[in-house]
């Protein structure tokens, strides 16, 4: 398979992402259903927190003026009552409202109880241990910015402010188009006849789309027919992204990139990615189109290298760094010069064992690998004993 | 608040995890519903992959014996037909079945087409470009080990083997018990009266439990009453873990650790964690009990420091390393000696800005922080400009 071009992975990704506009469609959701979603507007605090003067300690609310000059040699006695006026104090617990005329709270430990009086041996600053109104959250301050990804702790904060609904971006819809005359749809209860392959890629792509924050639209298997491929891509230009699996090499029947070129713009065909070289990237009607190799392992790598970021950009979902583990290689891994190589490894604690049978078509290499060691273009590979970062396959 | 003891975070976690047995309960699920679940048995491949001799290239299936001695000066001509017998070859595409009598596949590029013949100028090893039966996956080999966490790519592998159902561990059930006479249940459409607080912790804990792979069982708010706390804990000893929020300090009404001691074993009360010092850990009837402080920020830290690993161990779910970002501090952060401190920071690219108002009770510190800088016991803090690892708050 010979490609006229071979674009750098970094360059190809940059070109692809540059064509993707974040979605504008929004929806209003109950806050408790919005975890993992992205705010489409900033959220202002509808009230002060605390909305009353709140004691930060268990102790006694006092007027600081009453304690002026208090010291071990000159203690002040205050009457314990329910209200605070000159010469009295009131017991408060943490979180309680501080009575109107009090302006400080003494910690229990700093007082000596004598009957219904307390003795105090130090003066206190006004405001001590008193949470002022709005100290934590001020009414109308921005509590979450637009584009914030909502986490469980955020939902709790929203609930505490009485915010029960939030406006978030709609999830990006991703059309998944499997191509190939020899593909059979799942489920495959029977062993497929020789030469036929079950379409596992659609399932794999769809489940990653969902995991990464999108909605999967599954399409029927399309044979290698230029017109049919064109028709199905056209019919899905109402989505936010299209992933075509297969038909992207340089064989006679690899029509997909040409169809993309006809319908819009082919950005890249052939990338310095191993496995995953036949990947093509394009755009039509503002819909990004990822054409990934049909071989499962190569397709998976293309999906991780391009699909994940593209989907997240389409959905305005902040990119989160990959989870990596620092490990020591138990064997040498080789790389093709000029290619970013995704070497599959098995992790055993902090030992990474390279998988031997790592061909693009090898199914078991996916099942058995825990992660990728990503080898840059300009590195030939890593020797046994090298320290490497293993990106976990999520 | 004075604690008699202050256990190291590492030691406390070790003691707590040592009491947790992984669950034994399993369930049978459709494979497509099992992403994120953990296999309770190993899975054997029910068939060979490939289950036929599969061509690894587009080209011609040949008998290698026919090409013995072929060279540029001594080319061999083969007739292109549909079957392979002495002197003939058959065209095959990648993935096709290799005809019975053929034992190698020549790449298209290594042949010269002349009418219905091809000319070959090199000999070929038997087996070249032929994927033998079981080369990828051998029938009855272990394809996934017991305790494997299923990923989208694994589901695709299962589908390709015709495995449509899998046996996984049941999700651990976590009872969530909020305590405190001043708590009000959600939703809080109205501003709570002074001195009252909305119970946002239950929601926060519950959503993290779900995110981490468990099932949340929400309990009603329990006032500070020793008997009522005992009753509710007893009533939930049928779960896999209990999280009690609040009532774990050393005040008169902080009964929770004493109740845990009565019902089973109090392992730890008071840990070197900031915020989160009042955390207590225990076990009763083999059910681990995490008693976390009622202050949201302190509770969140206790949940991350102890709850996550405990839940995952209870559910046999492999621990995944936290997602971290290497960043430069834009300001100093201080730590308490003898405490593991979770300093909250805002990330702006690779700059981490410490949050100033980071008290345990400060609600906005959760909303505004992107992650924690975790400062070990023996470190006093970090200077402005230090490189630190920021653990993202998920």
Output the domain CATH number for residue B34. Answer: 3.90.105.10
* Segment A134-146, tens digit of pLDDT: 888 889 999 999 9
Q: Which of chain A's residues have a Cβ under 8 Å away from the Cβ of B99?
A: none
Residue B361 has pLDDT above 90, yes or no: no
Q: Which of B262, B285, B314 is the last residue of a domain?
A: B314
Same domain, B352 and B278: no
For residues B326 and B387, the answer to whether their CB atoms sit within 8 Å is yes
Residue A3 has pLDDT above 70, yes or no: no
Separation of alpha carbons A180 and B266, rounded Å: 62
Same domain, A270 and A369: no
Same domain, A192 and A303: yes
Show which of residues 83-142 on chain A sit within 8 Å of chain B, judged by CB atoms. Answer: 94-97, 131, 135-137
Tell me if B275 is assigned to some domain: yes
Q: What share of chain A is helix, strand, coil (3-state, %, to 5)?
A: 20, 30, 45
Give yes or no for A51 touching B (CB within 8 A): yes
Residue B50 has pLDDT above 90, yes or no: no
Neighbouring residues of B325: CB distance < 8 A, sequence distance ≥ 6: A321, B347, B350, B371, B389, B390, B392
Tell me if B175 is assigned to some domain: yes
Residue A215's pLDDT is what?
98
Bridge-partner residues for A89, per DSSP? Answer: A80
Q: What is the mean pLDDT of residues B352-377?
A: 82
Residue B314's pLDDT is what?
97
Tell me if B319 is assigned to some domain: no
Same domain, B306 and B206: yes
Same domain, B181 and B295: yes
Same domain, A112 and A127: yes
Tell me if B1 is assigned to some domain: no
Same domain, B215 and B307: yes
Q: Which of chain B's residues have a Cβ under 8 Å away from the Cβ of A43?
A: none
Separation of alpha carbons A321 and B309, rounded Å: 21
Residue A96's pLDDT is what?
87
Residue B116 has pLDDT above 80, yes or no: yes
* Segment B133-190, tens digit of pLDDT: 988 888 999 999 999 999 999 999 999 899 999 999 999 999 999 998 889 999 876 7
Same domain, A180 and A125: no
Q: What is the mean pLDDT of residues A332-348?
A: 92
Tell me if B2 is assigned to some domain: no
Residue A308's pLDDT is what?
97
Same domain, A119 and A247: no
Bridge-partner residues for B387, per DSSP? Answer: B328
Distance from CA of B158 to the nearest CA of A (A): 9
Q: What is the overall mean pLDDT for chain A?
A: 92
Q: What is the mean pLDDT of residues B114-118?
A: 92
Q: What is the CATH number of the domain that holds B81?
A: 2.170.190.11
The answer to whether A323 contacts B321, with C-beta atoms less than 8 Å apart, is yes
For residues B304 and B312, the answer to whether their CB atoms sit within 8 Å is no
Query: What is the ipTM metric for this complex?
Result: 0.90
Q: Rounded to whole angstroms, what are the CA distances from A325 to A311, A368, A392, B41, B372?
A: 25, 17, 7, 26, 19
Shortest CA distance from B195: residue in chain A: A96
Q: What is the CATH number of the domain that holds A239?
A: 3.40.980.10
DSSP A99-146: PTT--EEEEGGGEEEETTEEEE-S---TTTTEE-TTSSB-TTSEEE-T
Greatest C-alpha distance within chain B? 100
Residue B319's pLDDT is what?
86
Q: Which of A131, A153, A186 is the last residue of a domain?
A: A131
Tell me if B3 is assigned to some domain: no
Separation of alpha carbons A338 and A342, rounded Å: 13
Same domain, A184 and A280: yes
B359 is in which domain, residue-wise? Answer: 324-392
Residue A216 has pLDDT above 80, yes or no: yes
pLDDT-derived band at A1, boundaries 50, 70, 90: very low
Share of chain B above pLDDT 70, in %: 96
Q: Which of B292, B314, B336 is the last residue of a domain?
A: B314
pLDDT-derived band at B345, boundaries 50, 70, 90: very high
Separation of alpha carbons A202 and A104, rounded Å: 65
For residues A345 and A354, the answer to whether their CB atoms sit within 8 Å is yes
Tell me if B67 is assigned to some domain: yes
Tell me if B376 is assigned to some domain: yes
Q: What is the mean pLDDT of residues B275-299?
A: 94
Same domain, B371 and B295: no
Neighbouring residues of A205: CB distance < 8 A, sequence distance ≥ 6: A174, A176, A216, A243, A245, A292, A299, A303, A307
How many domains does chain A contain in total?
4
Q: What is the mean pLDDT of residues A246-250?
A: 81
Residue A199 has pLDDT above 90, yes or no: yes
For residues A54 and A169, the answer to whether their CB atoms sit within 8 Å is no
Q: What is the overall mean pLDDT for chain B?
A: 92
pLDDT-derived band at B287, boundaries 50, 70, 90: very high
Same domain, B80 and B213: no
Q: Rounded to whole angstroms, what are the CA distances from B307 to B13, B16, B59, B214, B304?
A: 9, 10, 58, 11, 6
Q: Which of chain A's residues have a Cβ under 8 Å away from the Cβ of B94?
A: 361
- The tokens describing B136, both together, are 């990828």
Share of chain B above pLDDT 90, in %: 74
Q: What is the mean pLDDT of residues A5-27?
A: 95
Distance from CA of A386 to the nearest CA of B (A): 21
Share of chain A above pLDDT 90, in %: 74
């Amino acid at each position: 398979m010979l490609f006229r071009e071979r674009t750098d992975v970094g360059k190809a990704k940059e070109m692809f992402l540059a064509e993707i506009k974040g979605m504008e469609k929004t929806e209003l959701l109950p806050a408790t259903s919005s975890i993992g979603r992205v705010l489409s507007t900033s959220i202002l605090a509808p009230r002060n927190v605390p909305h009353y003067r709140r004691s930060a300690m268990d102790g006694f609310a006092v007027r600081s003026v009453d304690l002026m000059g208090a010291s071990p040699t000159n203690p002040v006695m205050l009457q314990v009552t329910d209200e605070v006026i000159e010469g009295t104090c009131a017991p408060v617990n943490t979180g309680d409202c501080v009575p109107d005329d009090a302006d400080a709270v003494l910690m229990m430990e700093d007082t000596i109880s004598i009957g219904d009086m307390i003795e105090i041996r130090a003066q206190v600053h006004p405001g001590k241990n008193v949470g002022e109104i709005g100290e934590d959250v001020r009414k109308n301050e921005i509590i979450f910015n637009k584009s914030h990804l909502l986490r469980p702790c955020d939902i709790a904060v929203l609930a505490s402010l009485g915010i029960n609904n939030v406006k978030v971006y709609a999830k990006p819809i991703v059309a998944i188009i499997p191509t190939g005359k020899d593909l059979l749809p799942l489920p495959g209860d029977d062993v497929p006849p020789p030469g036929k392959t079950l379409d596992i890629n659609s399932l794999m792509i769809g489940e990653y789309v969902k995991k990464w924050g999108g909605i999967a639209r599954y399409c029927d298997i399309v044979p290698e027919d230029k017109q049919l491929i064109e028709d199905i891509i056209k019919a899905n230009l109402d989505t936010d992204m299209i992933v075509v699996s297969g038909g992207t090499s340089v064989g006679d029947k690899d029509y997909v990139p040409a169809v993309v070129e006809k319908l819009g713009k082919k950005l890249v065909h052939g990338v310095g990615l191993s496995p995953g070289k036949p990947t093509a990237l394009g755009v039509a009607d503002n819909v990004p189109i990822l054409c990934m190799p049909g071989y499962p392992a190569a397709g998976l790598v293309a999906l991780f290298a391009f699909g994940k970021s593209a989907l997240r950009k389409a959905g305005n979902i902040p990119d989160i760094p990959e989870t990596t583990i620092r490990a020591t290689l138990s064997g040498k891994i080789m790389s093709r010069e000029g290619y970013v190589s995704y070497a599959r490894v098995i992790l055993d604690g902090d030992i990474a064992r390279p998988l031997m049978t790592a061909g693009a078509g090898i199914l078991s290499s996916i099942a058995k690998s825990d992660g990728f060691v990503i080898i840059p273009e300009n590195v030939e590979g890593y020797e046994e004993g090298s320290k490497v970062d293993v990106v976990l396959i999520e």
